[in-house]
Chains A and B, each alone.
Chain A
Amino acid sequence: MNNHGKFDRRQFAKYLTHGFIAGALSRTLVDSSLFAATGKTKLLICTSPNGHFSSEATQAAFKGVIDAQKDQNYSLYLTGLRNSCYSGDWHGAESGLFGFRDGKGSAPSFFSAFSNLDKTYLTIDGSRYPRDSAGGEVTNYSKVKDLLEGKFSQAGTGTNSNPSGQAGSNSNNIIDPLFSDVKKVKSLLGAGEGNLFEDYVDSLQELRNKMVSSDYSESEAAEPVSADQCGQLSTLSDAADKTNQHSLLLDAAHQLLACNLTDVVVVSYLNSESEPEHQSIHGAGSNDGGMLFKSYTDATQKRIGEVINKMSTAPGGLLEQGAVVYISGGSGHLINGSFNNGHPDGNIPCAVFGRLNGQLTTRGVLDSTGQDQRNLWRSLVDKISGNTADLSKIGGQGILPLKGI
């Protein structure tokens, strides 16, 4: 595949089946510099609540739906991994799970380190998980309809203006006058008040750097990821119940990545207090040995496994180019043969599927005892950036990569 080939609308259009979507999405592809280069990382992160029954049960759930050959070549199951946000329990710790913090509280998600990767957040009752680079809330979509109308709708006048291009090109640069505005406001502030809106200044500077350096060209856009079937996003119809909707959002995530409409997708399924799943641990779990909880977790993992199974292993396919990370903030409940209906620590379910452009080569089961999810995030960031990323601004300094991958 030509990573810097010219954009061909006819080629793209054949992947789409709905005229409105074609209009909106093709304009997105043309306009956004984010898709200027193919060969970028593709990352899908999937969550489930409250941990898992056991590592063996989790592996069995995935292996039950992923082709044996695919599983052998692309799957890595981590055991013994901790959740660094655990503090007596994992409730309320969702907003730090993807970050580098120790203990509960919000933290920038590790993928916020990559400001030029486009991110999309899909959720069923799990919007606490992903955070922006300041640790703030982000927009999550729980319906495909809202995703298409919100993220991809550019129902303006049909002009081909591109904010990135505006800032990056020599004409109509709207960003530079903003720095003058900053100077004017700062000149009005008193001693000691100069940092009142430094967050704006920093964000503006980063935005400008990003736009100036981006590989934007009006005639260039990424082609869909080859071999992964693209073009079905508009056919997806939102479901009424949460399990079917979860499957739908996973399919939507696959389409978003396969069609190169985004680079990072988070699909967060429920949170640690969603019912009746939560009570299946503390309530039913004290009587049924955790079987009801296991049935919920098995089903969730299988749905994730099904979408992984759809991903292509051909050169340039998603499992070659990218990775799927599955994780939960809760731990394994089966301890010494008994189901713990509280909040045990250690051994959160975690698996990575895919080769990440050849950067991930470890397969099978990896004992990660003594490490936590932050080590995994560090590894992923290093592999994506070629070990050049500076994570100090999002709290990642001093975190070592995960041993063994």
Chain B
Amino acid sequence: MNTANFIYRFCLFGAVNVLAGCFMTPLEPVHHSKIEKENLNAETTFGDDVTQEDPLVVTTENKMEEMKNSPEKNNQTFSLIKEKALEGGDSCDNGENESSMRILTKNEYLETIKVVFKLSDSLVQIERLLPPGSTEQGYNFLRDFNIMSTEKLEAFLKAGQFVSEKVVGENLISLDCGLSSEDCFRQWLVANLPVIWREAVSSADINDELEIFKSFGSDSEALKSMVHRFLMSPKFLYRSGLFISGSETLSNWEIVTFLSDSLWQGILNDELIKTANQIEALRKDQILALVESMLKSPDLLKGLDTLAKGWMDLKSKGESLTFPDTISESYSSDTFNQMISYFLFDRIEEGQDSLAGLLDSKELWLPSELAGLYKVSKSAEEKSSIDNSFERFEFSDERRGLLSQPGFLISASGLEHTNIPLRGKNILKNFMCHDLETPEDIVDVVSKVKFDHNKPVSTALNQITLNGTCESCHKLINGTGSVFEGLSPLGFPRALDDHGKNVISDIAVELPGGRDFQSGSVSDFTHELISDPSTGVCLTVKVFRMFNGRMEKEKDACRISGIYKKASDQNGVSLKKLIVELILSRSGHIK
């Protein structure tokens, strides 16, 4: 056994410096133009703590340090949050509302193009031009890991050029409305600029834009430039939540945008636009009514798709998975991930979205062809998905809930074999927010280890890992992962494991915090998980990340714990209530 030192930090996002200098044509000296930056500094107000030693060095090393994503740091922050969440009373101080901005996602970009310019036919081409988001912690938009670069901005420049050329080429904005071109454009601006920039636009703002339009020539070339300019503005490229001085809540547009982005992946309809444009600030009851209607819409599936990927670290595993010959259709891991979204939607729709409803539910959604393979029976109340691609079925008594969903198991397995440590680690990380450092040299260690293939996989694994320096992590992940050995890499039941031995059904499990028990089935395990307070708090943290577009910090502990408490009742925390409370918190409407 390799007893190498396992002290190792697995930084997923290390020290990165934004390039602020300018590298000119090769073989020419480097020039830095500071004019614009100095003008900005002169005219705007910064806090006392903003350094201005070098106007071009904006993203400091300290900020990069903050962005590090180490398991130990995340665990520490979660411990603090959990401690406050489980405290009695409401003595926690939520602190000040904090403004935030993050780069918009591809979906959000495209949805705006669709609704404003009606360019549905060109979306594939536009999507190709857009820069990719960097995925960390399951989400591809967290502010901590998505920093604007010259390359990204140039990609947005090209996408904006494409859109602007299409708009003018296909005459999607008319400058020939019976009035002057400027007045025609004014009409268009009044109706559409708020939707592009997601903010109320004043008459002064409209006039400013018209002045630019006039300076460009007030013709079709000018129009093209204006469209391009709108799509390059930070008001479009960033989703903001700004608590402007004196305001305790976000603006109507910011609230509606935030709801649309989180719940519907950016879809915007006439009702939302009308709500965002209303003069009076949205009241809490109005927000709640809006959320209620959005949670009932099939468009919620898109938001749940985002949530599932972030919550459970769901992966895409290539184009199609290998099933027995009896299965005629091809199914990809993405299809199985979709089934989880349907599961969550169904749970919310039926009011069964408590932790028990999610983790202990007997329901799952599958194409009917796979029912025999997965040994599931038709649901007592038959139900089909909106597009009829899936039907609702029921598990047997031994397996329940989200952890039994094939999509989750596929993501935490190899293509041909299960992976006990991976399944265990994923469950601990995603459902209990207990992340484990990947040891240095792990693959080297594994490669040199002699597994006893004459024993069941879980027994052989325990033999090797439950001693020495491996034990501290493996005592937690082995049992947790072994509970699911009766489910194949594709998530259907099996009697023999990857060593060809009978799957062991009675597993000794230890969870973080010293809680241990014997688990006779997946159902036993999920019952224990539901009763562990970490699980509900962890779900709150995961949803916080999604709705706030960033990783949680220690200063969020109070706010998150407050949300957890408000979203909990005698049945534990409820997903729908979590969503509602997070929205209220995010928008500034905190009790």
Contact = CB atoms under 8 A, between A and B. Distances in A.
Contact of B125 (A153, A191, A193, A212): A153
Given A191-B46, A192-B49, A200-B234, A390 B27 contact: no
B232 interface: yes
Interface string B1-43: 0001000101111111111111111111111110011011001
B225 interface: yes
A134 B228 CA distance: 24
A103 B13 CA distance: 11
B118 interface: no
A213 interface: yes
A388 B30 CA distance: 7
Contact of B234 (A105, A174, A178, A213): A178
A105 B152 contact: no
Contacts of A37: 25
A199 B169 CA distance: 33
A103 B212 contact: no
19 contacts: A40-B26, A105-B14, A114-B26, A116-B23, A134-B152, A135-B16, A136-B146, A156-B161, A180-B208, A183-B43, A185-B234, A191-B45, A195-B50, A201-B37, A209-B22, A343-B443, A384-B26, A388-B28, A393-B17
Interface of B: 4, 8, 10-33, 36-37, 39-40, 43-50, 56-59, 63, 99-101, 125, 128-129, 131-135, 145-155, 157-158, 160-162, 165-166, 168-170, 208, 212, 216-217, 221-222, 224-225, 228-229, 232-235, 237-238, 240, 242-245, 439-444, 446-448
A189 interface: yes
B18 A187 contact: no
B457 to A, nearest CB: 16
A132 interface: yes
Contacts of A166: 225, 228
Contact of B232 (A41, A174, A196, A281): A174
A388 B129 CA distance: 32
A161 interface: yes
Interface in A158-201: 158-159, 161, 163, 166, 171-172, 174-175, 177-183, 185-201
A87 B19 contact: no
Contact of A177 (B58, B165, B212, B217): B212
Contact of A203 (B17, B153, B448): B153
A213 B224 CA distance: 23
B44 A186 contact: yes
Interface stretch (A89-97, A299-307, A309-317, A362-370): A89-97
A113 B165 contact: no
Contact of A205 (B33, B47, B216, B238): B33
A205 B148 contact: no
A157 B40 contact: no
A150 interface: yes
Nearest to B212: A177
Interface residues of A, number: 102
Chain B CB within 10 Å, residue with most, of A175, A205, A386: A205
B386 to A, nearest CB: 31
Contact of B21 (A174, A343, A390): A390
A210 interface: yes
A223 B40 CA distance: 41
Interface in A345-399: 384-386, 388-390, 392-395
A197 B133 CA distance: 16
A133 B19 contact: yes
Contacts of A237: none
B327 to A, nearest CB: 23
B25 A104 contact: no
A119 B131 CA distance: 13
Given A133-B149, A188-B245, 6 more contacts: A87-B440, A132-B152, A134-B18, A188-B242, A202-B20, A385-B26
A106 B17 contact: no
A156 B151 contact: no
Given A135-B147, A203-B150, A393-B19, A342 B229 contact: no
Interface of A: 37, 40-41, 87-89, 91-92, 96, 101, 103-108, 112-117, 119, 132-139, 146, 149-150, 153-159, 161, 163, 166, 171-172, 174-175, 177-183, 185-210, 212-215, 281-283, 286, 341-343, 384-386, 388-390, 392-395
What are the 5 A-B residue pairs with the smallest beta carbon separation, nearest first? A157-B169, A105-B14, A88-B440, A156-B165, A191-B47
Given A104-B10, A181-B233, A134 B148 contact: yes
**SS of B interface (majority):** loop
B448 A342 contact: yes
A112 B49 CA distance: 31
Chain B CB within 10 Å, residue with most, of A119, A179, A187, A207: A207
B447 A342 contact: yes
B47 A386 contact: no
A158 B135 CA distance: 35
A209 B147 contact: no
Contacts of B43: 183
Given A133-B149, A195-B58, A203-B148, A105 B12 contact: yes
Contact of B22 (A178, A210, A342): A210
Chain A CB within 10 Å, residue with most, of B17, B229, B235: B17
A199 B149 contact: yes
A133 B233 contact: no
B25 A213 contact: yes
Contacts of B10: 92, 104
Given A136-B134, A136-B149, A172 B221 contact: yes
Contacts of A113: 19, 23
B6 to A, nearest CB: 9
Contact of A200 (B26, B27, B148, B154): B148
Nearest to B16: A135
Given A40-B26, A157-B166, A197-B101, A134 B16 contact: yes
Contacts of A138: 131-132, 151
B101 A186 contact: no
Given A183-B43, A385-B23, A388-B29, A139 B131 contact: yes
A105 B315 CA distance: 20
Chain B CB within 10 Å, residue with most, of A166, A183, A341: A166
A89 B444 contact: yes
A108 B16 contact: yes
A179 B149 contact: no
A392 to B, nearest CB: 8
B125 A155 contact: yes
B150 A133 contact: yes
Contacts of B44: 183, 186-187, 194
A182 B28 CA distance: 30
Given A134-B152, A393-B20, A158 B169 contact: yes
A163 B40 contact: no
Nearest to A150: B128
Contacts of A201: 37, 40, 58
A179 B16 CA distance: 25
Nearest to B14: A105
Contacts of B100: 196
B11 A192 contact: no
A89 B147 contact: no
B133 A137 contact: yes
Contact of A161 (B59, B129, B146, B224): B224
Contacts of A392: 17, 21
Given A194-B46, A200-B153, A161 B26 contact: no
B40 A88 contact: no
A190 B125 contact: no
A205 to B, nearest CB: 6
A105 B168 CA distance: 44
Contacts of B101: 196-197
Chain B CB within 10 Å, residue with most, of A179, A180, A181: A181
Nearest to B44: A186
Nearest to A135: B16
A283 B443 CA distance: 11
A105 B11 contact: yes
